[in-house]
Structure 1
Amino acid sequence: METPEFPDIILFAIPVFVLTMLIELFVTTREQLKHVKGYEAKDAFSSITMGLGNVFLGFLSKALVLLAFFWIYNNFRVFTIPVTWWSFILIFFADDITYYWNHRIAHQCRLFWASHVVHHSSQYYNLSTALRQTWSGGFYTFIFWLWMPLVGFHPAMIMFQMSVSLLYQYWIHTETINKLPKWFEAIMNTPSHHRVHHGSNPLYLDRNHAGILIIWDKFFGTFQPELDDEKVVYGLVKNINTYNPVKIAFIEWVNMFKDAFSGKKSLTSRLLYFIKPPGWRHDGTGKVSDDLREEWIKTRDNN
């Protein structure tokens, strides 16, 4: 079978990223938008550096991913799905629900959080934040997509759709867009929905994991609308407070291994540090996002 060729739309989009960040920077400095946090030079530089590192390492990780996809596709596929108009509709939904579960598990399993935390480490929310991407995740998070070549989607088609999803998510990283028409907010992931996802507020933790469609969060019970009386506080529950790209990329890996292998604890407890959610402690002293949310709700109800 002839291998279909698709353009690397992420590389083609780089000039658009630069132009739109400059436009957003101009808009956020206007008088009527002083309430928007906007840009901080060191933070934006860190985010852009993380993005460039992700693109560079992507040449290696994508080779690994394609090798795995082609191995499954050529040896184990159950069907052969042709590259045609209706298969693009199928792969759109297949990729989007896969992204949802990958993203949700990345917030619930520390092994995957170790790479995904990079994207949440900024205390600012603007288009440069969208570029703050992992340097390690590309080498192992692709396992969530392995079912797609198995059922017969061509690897090149899968990679292209993954890029489409990533490109869509770029524009929703902004405070300059408030709410869009109700029908759009009801179906699609939007800046409002994704601001919630980047919030460290207990009410907003681990919510709105959508890629392109917000319907999965509504169906699986992880949707939370942005509330006017609960302004989003961006960043982590415990911020890392560094602009060093290397620290941003690997600090959670270091912390995870320290928690797992330091001190006296059982083998089971050590393994659970890789599986349990961020904040979990083997001695019961830790608090995960559900604990923080419950405490916040009780405090609110008692006031």
Structure 2
Amino acid sequence: MPDNLSYPDVATLASPLYLLLLVLELLLMRLNLLRAHYETRDSAASLAMGVGYVITGLFSGLLIGGGISAIMFRVYDHRLFDIGTSVWAIVACFLIDDMRYYWAHRFMHRIRWLWASHVVHHSSQHFNFATALRQPWTGAIMGLFVLKLPLAFLGFHPAILIFASSLNLLYQFWIHTESIRRMPAWFEAVMNTPSHHRVHHGSNPRYLDCNYAGTLIIWDKLFGTFVPEQDDDPVRFGLVRDLGTFNPLRIAFHEFVGIAKDQAQHDLSLRDRFLYLFGPPGWSHDGRRDDTDKIKAAFLRRHPEQAGTPGLPPVTGAGMPVMAREVADAAGGQ
């Protein structure tokens, strides 16, 4: 099989379509023909991040792209099977790579080093086609390409792997909108949709760390991270603590600055330093910050009747929410 096999980067080639759909959504919003929310400074910041994503992608491709490609081909040279390049091989690769994307995306939310890059995409308080273009500038250095190596070892050509990822990114553009309320039930059951992805961008306690899907929502259902959108709990977009800035440089690097400040603290153990880098976002050695579990627990202390509802932990035998009881115990049961 030729090593110079190549496929088009459809996600990049579709850039004019992205801009056309963005303008169309904005125009229809202005005509009150669909539901959407745009804010000029926020949209400008998203577009700036999108342009920076393309530029940094070109530079990273020149600087480290060859090395990554060499590693993938080295692994592919020792492949278990000759899967080939048929249409069915591409379909199989797309499906398996979509599961790979699910786990990569889940790691991005649960490992601070990865979150430092991915947080850029969640930093807007709006959810529209401009938000889809708000992408990080540091993705190439995060190391997540290693999750593709097992697929190359299995026998999928690196070019097909890149093509599958490109198709996945292309699909994800259209789900960044409030203008589509629900798709048909059968589609909502299998595919990632605007409704499912709105939940993923929510900062409500019940919506934190869920719906990691790229194309197929079945992975969230299979691995226990699916939360349906609740009509009685409208999604609040953005971060738990919003940045309060439209400066692209701060948006791109604020979490890396935060990591550096945490690492600069004195009297930290090696474990503390490790967890400030690879622990979940919100972890702190003195417990003064809130991670996802603490946020959900605090919410259930205020709203115990919500325990066990989608996205929130159930009650224990003692009748108290699991994490709420832990918080109460930590506070002396007050």
Q: Under TM normalisation by the shorter chain, which class is it?
A: over 0.9
Q: CA deviation at 1:32?
A: 5.9
Higher mean C-alpha deviation, range 234-243 or range 53-62: 53-62
- Aligned residue number for residue 48 of structure 2: 49
CA distance in 2, matches of 1:65, 1:17: 28
Aligned-pair CA distance for 1:265: 1.3
- Per chain length, whose mean CA-contact separation is higher, i.e. which structure has more relative contact order (CA < 8 Å, sep 6+)? 1
Residues 204-283 of structure 1 mapped to structure 2, 5 A cutoff? 204-283=207-286
2:303 corresponds to 1:300: yes
SS of the equivalent of 1:39 reads coil
Given the alignment, which residue of 74, 86, 91 partners 1:84? Answer: 86
The list of structure 1 runs, each at least 4 consecutive aligned residues, that deviate by more than 4 angstroms after superposition, is none
Residues 245-290 of structure 1 deviation map (CA, whole Å, 9 limit, x = unaligned): 1111111011012112323211211111111111111112222112
Cα distance in 2 for residues equivalent to 1:297 and 1:190? 28
Q: Secondary structure at the match of 2:303?
A: helix
Matching residue of 1:131? 133
Deviation at 1:138? 2.2
Q: 1:168–1:295: structure 2 CA closer, same or farther, 3 Å change rule?
A: same
Partner of 1:118: 120
Q: Does 1:95 align with 2:97?
A: yes
The correspondence of residues 194-213 of structure 1 with structure 2, limited to 5 A, is 194-213=197-216
**Distance in 1 of aligned mates of 2:206 and 2:180:** 22
- Distance in 1 (alpha carbons) for counterparts of 2:80 and 2:246: 47
Deviation of 1:37 after TM superposition, in Å, equals: 5.2
Question: AA paired with 2:170?
Answer: L
The amino acid that maps onto 2:180 is I
**Could you say which residue in structure 1 is the equivalent of 2:9?**
8
Deviations 1:112-135 (A, max 9, x none): 101100000011110010111111
- In the TM superposition, residue 296 of structure 1 has moved relative to its aligned partner by 1.6
Q: Which amino acid aligns with 2:190?
A: I
Count of residue pairs the alignment pairs up: 300
Paired with 1:185 and 1:293, the residues of 2 have a C-alpha distance of: 26
- Give the 3 Å change call, closer, same or farther, for CA 217–84 of structure 1 in structure 2: same
Q: Which runs of 5+ in 1 are unaligned?
A: none
Note the residue ranges of structure 2 that are not aligned, 5 or more in a row: 307-334
Distance of 2:305 and 2:85 partners within structure 1: 57
Whether the 8 Å CA contact 1:29–1:38 is kept in 2: the answer is: no
Q: TM-score, normalised by structure 2?
A: 0.86
Amino acid corresponding to residue 30 of structure 1 in structure 2:
L
Whole-angstrom distance in 1 between the partners of 2:133 and 2:32 = 26
Higher alpha-carbon Rg: 2
RMSD over aligned Cα, in angstroms? Answer: 1.6
Output the TM-score relative to the length of structure 1: 0.94
